[in-house]
Structure 1
Amino acid sequence: MVPDSATPPSARPYPPPRRSATEVPEDYALLRAEEPVAAVTLPSGDRGHLVSRYEDVRAVLADPRCSRAATVAPEAPKLTAVPFDAGGLFTMDPPEHTRLRGLVARAFTPRRVERMRPRLEELAGELADAMAAGDGAEGGSTDLNAAFAFPFPMAVICELLGVPFADRERFRTWSDAVLSLTAHPPEEMLRHKQALLAYLADLVADKRRAPGTDLLSALVGVRDEEGGPGERELLVLAMTLLVAGHETTVGVLGTSVLTLLRQPERLGLVPDGEEATAALVEELLRLNPIGDGGPLRVTTAPVEVAGRVLPPNSAVIASVCSANRDGSRYTDPDRFDPDRTGDPAQPPHLAFGHGPHYCLGAPLARAELAVALRVLAGRFPALRLAVPVEAVTMHRGLLVNRLTELPVRWD
């Protein structure tokens, strides 16, 4: 074991740079081979540790000593100048996290999501109809991000929560600020977060006056009738569900379509059968991570990772992006292989995390991706990139990976 005091004084910037939208940061391969626990400088300016190997990432994600709740302690190192709020799903540990998660878990079970599938297909079909009709397009071309990848997950989460879809452009602005690493100055991040919370407070008041059948109305009922969660906790939970409930799928849907359009068969790779489509979705999730790193954790006790002992109050980022490309766990890890999921020698990807913070919305995200790909392949079998792949860029400075645009054409 090597104590953390042996960490070299130099630290890499986090997140590591990407050369292009289609390439993961090349630093990860080097770190897995030579420095599996690397010293990094976080966007806040604080020091942290980046963990890059599959087994180490998985261990950190499951280790209760690598705490989410500790990230909001006053003395804790911070990821950004405006960290996530205390009292939310991203900043709690069990048992408090388990209690809060249980309030909304029923809305995201595989059985509940399966009952939602016809509505998902209807929403995706309506957006495909608008694309085919030339709504906002010229000569069979459009920005798929604006026409489909953004409004589809946004419509789903708005309907589920009971939030007006008409306000989606305001949510986009607010979400970008909430998920900013370096894309927005701190004062702007704080201003937009406060505006979103104020909007949700007004919406909660509306639900109290006229409750509906949506999830937010149900949460307000639990708050008022059973005494929990607290009012601030309710607003932070609503913000978390709204932002995480669409931003992650928006990003992965765009990058997944880009992955398919770079293959010779393009959307012809999307199969008809549900089982084969599910396998395709899993490989796309492995290759197209939600973000280059993961939510920050702070150690509450000494933790040994890859032979290095991290002392208490150490910031740790377990890089799911790197873990899902680990050549010691995956055969030819950078290759797109839809049949990989059926190989028992290949471990499950970590796109949705691992352990108690495993993504609550994973069943819904999987269903949205499967439905979206099937609808696009059915309606636009000749879909192709309208620009050279080198011209496609990724937003910089956000916690999530999201393409700036995805220009496409079809016949």
Structure 2
Amino acid sequence: MTTATAAPRTNGPRPEETAAPRQNPPTFLSDPYPTLARMREAAPVSVLHSDGGLRLWIIPRYADVRAALFDRRLAQDARRAQALADSRFEGVNLGAEITHMLSSDPPDHTRLRRVVQAAFSRKRVEAMRPMVERVTLELLDGLDATVARPTTGAPTATVDLIRDFAFPLPILVVCELLGFPPEDRDLYRTWSTAIVTQEGDQEAFRRAVQEMGAYVLALADRRARRNDRPDDLLTELLAARERGELTDDEIVGMVALLLIGGHETTVNLLGTSCLALLREPGQAAWLRADPARMPMAVEEFLRYDSPICMATTRFTTEPVEVGGVEIPKDEFVLLSLGAANRDPARFQDPDRLVLDRRDAGHLAFGGGIHRCLGALLGKLEAEVALTALLARFPGMTLACQERDLRWRNTMMLRGLESLPLTLRR
């Protein structure tokens, strides 16, 4: 991101022109909340400019973000958004190569979501609990084996919680849900990183999209030739294609959304939740004393350090007023879920982790027609994983200085690249 230039004229008050966090990106990535708080306190809307020159209107306040999530005047169709961006600048990529629910508006969005929504019903998700518990315990047994065979002679071992636990857990779950080969999970992670991070490598993005598309269609074609199709989501997608409800491109987009979205946010949630508990050993002890409190705690983890800091880009189809500021038609808008979930106008003492917090209502999963379809599954995974992790390794500690932790290089996602921990038997 680069420094904002003058805001466009509006019929109402001028929005706050805020400098984007370019001067020290690692500082913003490691702790975006001071910058987001300044935006939130200064004005209802801030204007930034991307490296490509694209003007972005950022909404940071809880009430405004919540209203915007339900506002149909803020569209998400990626193809229309890309055409709008192309009319102004060259080289801005908004991901229009992938067609899925999150990058579509009704009626396409309605049709696409209807195909898969039954797989994420409360009943279907709860039926997945034994599988999530099994995968969790297998991964913890692997960590336990590492501690049992220390290289230093001491009953401790250093592991990377992201690599060894937080990543494989949700990717193995989503592989089982989709019917995808779990042995290819590192390949999925490579594609995911190229697609969701903002490192400016457009060639890597396009290559990842092409490789993933070819992989998904080859897997789908092999499945389509089978007479004994397993009962998984890929089979359901193929059945929808045979009914004329999905195209090949839409199958690729749906799989990309479920494969990437189905693990990225949970990886982030597990990593930041564990880090928060390491900072607050008293609250970790409170959780261990009564594991039944974990569902409440997960809601607070979601609010306190939302896995998605900025919702996917929207654009105005007509002028939209936010807090007395008019955003003109055909402007790009970002909704800061991270800023909204730390808004003191909505949450008491918002910058403090309070696991028994009573003021519910976070926006970590978005809202409106685009509310995260996998919210129930993500919460189930976090509840099972964190409960088991705390019970198995109550004495875990951070194996580096917190300032040395590496964070995902993207404004949209909020997650750790790695989390080195010292585990003790």
Do Structure 1 and Structure 2 share a fold, with TM-score over 0.5?
yes
Aligned to 1:360: 373
Q: What is the CA distance between 1:339 and its match in structure 2?
A: 1.2
Q: Which moved more, 1:60-69 or 1:263-272?
A: 263-272
Aligned to 1:77: 85
Q: 1:54-85 CA distances to partner (integer Å, 9 max, x unpaired)?
A: 00011111100001116634432389525243
Aligned to 1:19: 27
Q: What is the CA distance between 1:6 and its match in structure 2?
A: 6.6
- Matched residues in 1 for 2:307 and 2:50: separation? 18
- Partner SS for 1:48: strand
- Matched residues in 2 for 1:207 and 1:399: separation? 34
Q: What is the CA distance between 1:374 and its match in structure 2?
A: 0.9
Maintained 8 Å contact 1:65/1:301: yes
Q: What is the CA distance between 1:151 and its match in structure 2?
A: 0.3
Paired residue total? 404
Aligned to 1:223: 241
Aligned pair 1:64/2:72, yes or no?
yes
Moved over 6 A (4+): none
Q: 1:337-393 CA distances to partner (integer Å, 9 max, x unpaired)?
A: 0111xx2xx240000001111000000000000000011011111111112222222
Aligned pair 1:242/2:259, yes or no?
yes
Aligned AA for 2:238? Answer: V
Q: What is the CA distance between 1:326 and its match in structure 2?
A: 0.3
Maintained 8 Å contact 1:61/1:354: yes
Maintained 8 Å contact 1:260/1:269: no
Aligned AA for 2:232? Answer: D
- Partner SS for 1:19: helix
Aligned pair 1:30/2:38, yes or no?
yes
Maintained 8 Å contact 2:213/2:252: yes
Aligned AA for 1:378? Answer: A
- Matched residues in 1 for 2:119 and 2:109: separation? 17
- Matched residues in 1 for 2:68 and 2:94: separation? 24
Provide closer, same or farther for how the CA distance between residues 286 and 37 of structure 1 changes in structure 2, counting only shifts above 3 A.
same
Aligned AA for 2:101? Answer: L
- Matched residues in 2 for 1:71 and 1:316: separation? 16
- Matched residues in 2 for 1:137 and 1:196: separation? 38
Aligned pair 1:190/2:206, yes or no?
yes
Q: What is the CA distance between 1:86 and its match in structure 2?
A: 5.5
Q: What is the CA distance between 1:280 and its match in structure 2?
A: 0.3
Aligned AA for 2:83? Answer: E
Maintained 8 Å contact 1:70/1:299: no
- Matched residues in 1 for 2:421 and 2:316: separation? 45
Maintained 8 Å contact 1:4/1:310: no
Query: Which runs of structure 2 are paired with 1:227-376 in the superposition (5 Å)?
Result: 227-265=244-282, 267-271=284-288, 275-340=292-357, 343=358, 346-376=359-389
- Partner SS for 1:338: coil
- Matched residues in 2 for 1:409 and 1:220: separation? 45
Maintained 8 Å contact 2:17/2:46: no
Aligned AA for 2:119? Answer: A
Maintained 8 Å contact 1:294/1:320: yes
Maintained 8 Å contact 2:158/2:399: yes
Q: What is the CA distance between 1:410 and its match in structure 2?
A: 2.1
Q: 1:98-125 CA distances to partner (integer Å, 9 max, x unpaired)?
A: 2211111111111111111111010000
- Partner SS for 2:85: coil
Q: What is the CA distance between 1:45 and its match in structure 2?
A: 2.5
Maintained 8 Å contact 1:384/1:409: yes
Which of 200, 209, 234 is equivalent to 2:225?
Answer: 209
Q: 1:294-348 CA distances to partner (integer Å, 9 max, x unpaired)?
A: 10000111111111111111100010000000011111100000111xx2xx240
- Partner SS for 2:84: coil
Maintained 8 Å contact 1:7/1:39: no
- Matched residues in 1 for 2:354 and 2:369: separation? 29
- Partner SS for 2:281: coil
Q: What is the CA distance between 1:93 and its match in structure 2?
A: 1.5
Q: 1:119-160 CA distances to partner (integer Å, 9 max, x unpaired)?
A: 101000000000000189754221111110010001000110
- Matched residues in 2 for 1:168 and 1:72: separation? 32
- Matched residues in 2 for 1:71 and 1:283: separation? 35
Q: What is the CA distance between 1:205 and its match in structure 2?
A: 0.7
Which of 404, 418, 422 is equivalent to 1:391?
Answer: 404
Aligned to 2:423: 410
Q: 1:185-209 CA distances to partner (integer Å, 9 max, x unpaired)?
A: 1111111111111111111111101
Provide closer, same or farther for how the CA distance between residues 402 and 161 of structure 1 changes in structure 2, counting only shifts above 3 A.
same
Aligned to 2:184: 167
Aligned to 1:40: 48
The percentage of aligned residue pairs carrying the same residue is 36
- Partner SS for 2:27: coil
Aligned to 2:170: 153
Aligned AA for 1:116? Answer: M
Maintained 8 Å contact 2:12/2:324: no
- Partner SS for 2:348: coil
Which of 101, 111, 114 is equivalent to 2:126?
Answer: 114
Aligned AA for 1:406? Answer: L
Aligned AA for 1:168? Answer: R
Q: 1:14-39 CA distances to partner (integer Å, 9 max, x unpaired)?
A: 78946266533422111111122011
Aligned AA for 1:51? Answer: I
Provide closer, same or farther for how the CA distance between residues 292 and 389 of structure 1 changes in structure 2, counting only shifts above 3 A.
same
Q: What is the CA distance between 1:43 and its match in structure 2?
A: 4.5
Q: What is the CA distance between 1:395 and its match in structure 2?
A: 2.1
Aligned AA for 1:3? Answer: T
Structure 1: gaps spanning 5 or more residues: none
Q: Which moved more, 1:62-71 or 1:9-18?
A: 9-18
Question: TM-score normalized by structure 1?
Answer: 0.92
Aligned to 2:59: 51
